[in-house]
Amino acid sequence: GENVEQHPSTLSVQEGDSAVIKCTYSDSASNYFPWYKQELGKGPQLIIDIRSNVGEKKDQRIAVTLNKTAKHFSLHITETQPEDSAVYFCALGGNTPLVFGKGTRLSVIA
Amino acid sequence: SAVISQKPSRDICQRGTSLTIQCQVDSQVTMMFWYRQQPGQSLTLIATANQGSEATYESGFVIDKFPISRPNLTFSTLTVSNMSPEDSSIYLCSVGGTQETQYFGPGTRLLVL
């Protein structure tokens, strides 16, 4: 079945710096690539998504880039703030239910 | 996006007992899903809750252990049956939006002793 590799598993950055999380996949049928943020004690929250006909999408400090040829997509957070600290999950959508990466625990140090 | 609530938010249960988790959505949705998230882990799909028919279970999950109801387009329940400590997890309900978008409820945190 579909598989998605997410790296790194943990990431610490200084407040104000940028954070990048990358996911790679193998199934070329995947055409939907969402990112979720999960804070402690809460359910995952959709923060941004991209479809296969688009290479980049931006929403304020958050952006997602997609390279369909290389089969990877990345989440970029600029000007990080302490409230960005959370676990981030990438996911794949296509002809099957969403498949999730293992998550990245982001810590933003003030 | 849909507003999703789950009950209970958390529970502590004895092994061998069963717990039913409720998921309520504020609007009618076609797709509803149940996920399990073990401590510190990612999300694993248990089943798709189908309105008016039996749920569709993923590999490794069976109806006898995780019976699911979906009586209408805004409500679903997941029962965790004959619980053991290995069932201690967060159980999450999600609903499908447009074009595969999924939104999650707050989760039910279950501890089995």
The share of chain B scoring above pLDDT 90, in percent, equals 85
Question: How do A10-14 and A104-109 pair as beta strands?
Answer: parallel
Q: How far apart are the first and last CA of chain B?
A: 36
∠ CA(A37), CA(A40), CA(A44), 5° rounding?
30
pLDDT beyond 70 at B42: yes
Name every chain B residue with its beta carbon within 8 A of the beta carbon of A42: 106-107
CB pairs under 8 A between A and B: 42
**Confidence band (pLDDT; 50, 70, 90) for A7?**
very high
From A25, A24, A5, A29, select the one nearest A96 (Cα to Cα).
A29
**Confidence band (pLDDT; 50, 70, 90) for A1?**
low
Please provide the DSSP assignment of B41-103 as one string.
---EEEEEEPTTS--EEPTT--TTTS-EEEEETTEEEEEE-S--GGG-EEEEEEEE-GGG-EE
With beta carbons less than 8 A apart as the criterion, state whether B98 and B81 touch: no
With beta carbons less than 8 A apart as the criterion, state whether B70 and B76 touch: yes
Name every chain B residue with its beta carbon within 8 A of the beta carbon of A32: 99-100
B42: nearest CB among A43, A46, A101: A101
ω into A8 cis (within 30 of 0): yes
From residue A81, alpha-carbon distances to A12, A48, A58, A66 in Å are 12, 17, 17, 24
**Å from A106 to nearest chain B CA?**
13
Q: Is B43 on the interface with A (CB under 8 A)?
A: yes
With beta carbons less than 8 A apart as the criterion, state whether A87 and A103 touch: yes
The share of chain A scoring above pLDDT 90, in percent, equals 85
Mean pLDDT of chain B: 94
Q: Give strand pairing partners of A5.
A: A24
The pLDDT of residue B98 = 55
Q: Is B48 on the interface with A (CB under 8 A)?
A: yes
Instruction: Give φ, ψ of B106 to 5 degrees.
Output: -75, -15
DSSP conformation class of B106 = -
Best of A5, A38, A96 to disrupt the B interface (most B CBs within 10 Å) is A38
pLDDT of B57-99, one tens digit each? 999 999 999 999 999 999 999 999 999 999 999 999 999 865 6
